[in-house]
Amino acid sequence: MSASRRPSFLGRTAITGVGYTPLSRDSGVSVQTLAVNACRAALDDCGLAPQDIDGIVPYSLLNDSVYGQAVAAGLGSPELHYAVDLSLGGQAPCAAVAMAAMAVDAGVARNVLVFRALNGRSGMRIGSTAYESLTSQFRYPIGFTAYPQYIAMWARRFMVETGFSYRDLGHVVSVQREYAALNERAMQRKQLSVDDYLDSPLIVDPFRKADCTIEADGACALVVTSIEEARTHKQPAAVIQGSAWTTPKGSGLDHSDLFSWPDWSKNCHHYLRERLWQSARATRNDIDFAEIYDCFSIVVPMTLEGLGVCATGGAGEFISSGETRLNGSLPVNTHGGLLSEGYLHGINTVTEAVLQIQGRGGVRQVKKNDCCLVTSAAMMDGSALILTKDG
Amino acid sequence: MSQVSVGAPRVHPNLDTAWWWQALAHGELLIPACRACSRRFFPPQAFCPHCGSQDWHGAATQARGKIYSWIVTYRAFAPEFADEVPYAIVAVDLDEGLRLIGRYFGDFTALRDAMPVHAKIYRSHDDVLLGFEAEN
């Protein structure tokens, strides 16, 4: 079980193309259409044709997407040698990239599409949908039915443990809105001062509406390949240098089983921290910017502390003093995060990292872009990546 | 809208949990306690999540504990609770060493970390449920 041997796919695989559909509140098209359009855009982006693809890894919750084979059909049916449909939510994006990279490195597939597609606003809304699980019987009857409530419970404990304040939450939101102003894709580009944030009503204390992501219709895709193959693609390689997944002890019976998790002030990143940095042969000081999964504002400081980017209790000061802004020491969530860009379930957190590594951040391009931390997860289980420039 | 209906907010026990709900309906809060490793666990399931043993029993509890976390819901996320907002839900660490979640009955503005509470079993929408109130 030792993590000392570096997984073989690291340093030898990369992400090249990325593709998006518009993000909207009502796409008016099917999920398959969204998925195929995003995947086609990712192929066009790096100069590949559909027949160059031989692997597809989608992820979905509650059957809200389409299978990889449906995208293959929409692309004109290339034969797939690797097709894995993951029934996972926000834990998945970094892990799906890692699975694709492992398939490439093992020689099973050459170019693998990873995508997330959903009509998450006009169709099934994950934020408020009650769905049966092994532990839902202990939550729903008492009026504990939705993700904003579950994460609010963790937020409260994090605030108790670390001193993170309501005002600090406002800073997370406000800084990300500054980035959103620089991102044409973002669904919420209105600036929000910390004072105006604090004046807005609580929806589930300690959260306000602005602490929650924006449910969206849309799709986003990326292409994973070997480093050699990547060098023949139209876009520069974002090299996969570090990767870790964890389902720690106490993860319980399902995605929302909070009962067995010992410390609600620490999410899974506290547990994968050592393996992640070790896998990349890197430390916190090596990263130039970070793209942190943020279905809710609190996940940003919790993850930064969990991974040791900030000391325990240090994220509030770090964020409120401006260190995560574009001109700060560690820009974070440069697309405005899921809070502002919209909830494509964290795949758009990964693609933003890729665009920045490739120097395609436009008006929001970070100054130094050699090395990036990317995360996927809010609560018990999850994944993370370290990406770097090629060479 | 293709909402997945579970008939919320009613209790839907399964084969591993029915005994726990039956005890609660009789006014008893029981906690699975493992005979192999002496630890307690929740939610009820066939195996002790600490050691994997199936040798456990439903143990009585003092039903007292301390507030670990809490939220106050101002906007109903499910229509069944629209008439009940604002309401508080608390996470309680029982003295026996286990975390449970329930409605809080009392002044939620007074909720604090580590505040002592005890269980209050109550009826809602024809179900018998676990809640908590402040210890005096």
pLDDT of residue A3: 52
pLDDT tens for A63-75 read: 899 999 999 999 9
Q: Does residue B30 belong to the interface with chain A, where contact is any CB pair within 8 Å?
A: no
Q: Which of B2, B70, B89 sits opposite A142 (nearest CB)?
A: B89
Q: Which of A130, A148, A259 sits opposite B42 (nearest CB)?
A: A259
Residue A49 pLDDT more than 70?
Answer: yes
pLDDT of residue A270: 97
Please state the pTM of the whole predicted model: 0.96
State which residue of chain B sits closest to A152, comparing Cα positions. Answer: B71
pLDDT of residue B2: 33
Mean pLDDT of B52-73: 97
CA distances from A332 to A138, A208, B84 (A): 36, 21, 38
Mean pLDDT of A231-241: 98
Spell out which residues of chain A touch residue B4, defining contact as CB-CB under 8 Å. Answer: 62, 124, 129-132
pLDDT tens for B91-111 read: 999 999 999 999 999 999 999
Residue A343 pLDDT more than 70?
Answer: yes
State which residue of chain A sits closest to B92, comparing Cα positions. Answer: A259
Q: How many angstroms separate the CA atoms of B130 and A137, rounded?
A: 12
DSSP classification of residue B100:
E
Q: Does residue B78 belong to the interface with chain A, where contact is any CB pair within 8 Å?
A: yes
Mean pLDDT of A235-250: 96
Spell out which residues of chain A touch residue B9, defining contact as CB-CB under 8 Å. Answer: 140-143, 145
Q: Which domains does chain B have, with CATH numbers?
A: 18-134 (2.40.50)
Q: How many angstroms separate the CA atoms of B1 and A62, rounded?
A: 13
Spell out which residues of chain A touch residue B125, defining contact as CB-CB under 8 Å. Answer: 141
Provide the pLDDT confidence category of residue A2 given band limits of 50, 70 and 90.
low
Average pLDDT, chain B: 92
ipTM surpasses 0.90? yes
pLDDT of residue B3: 38
Question: Are the beta carbons of A130 and B6 separated by less than 8 Å?
Answer: yes
Provide the pLDDT confidence category of residue B126 given band limits of 50, 70 and 90.
confident
- Angstroms from B105 CA to nearest CA on chain A: 12
Provide the pLDDT confidence category of residue A126 given band limits of 50, 70 and 90.
confident
pLDDT tens for A190-230 read: 999 999 999 999 999 999 999 999 999 999 999 999 999 99
Spell out which residues of chain B touch residue A255, defining contact as CB-CB under 8 Å. Answer: none
Average pLDDT, chain A: 96
pLDDT tens for A127-183 read: 777 777 888 899 999 999 999 999 999 999 999 999 999 999 999 999 999 999 999
pLDDT of residue B6: 42
Percent of chain A with pLDDT over 70: 99
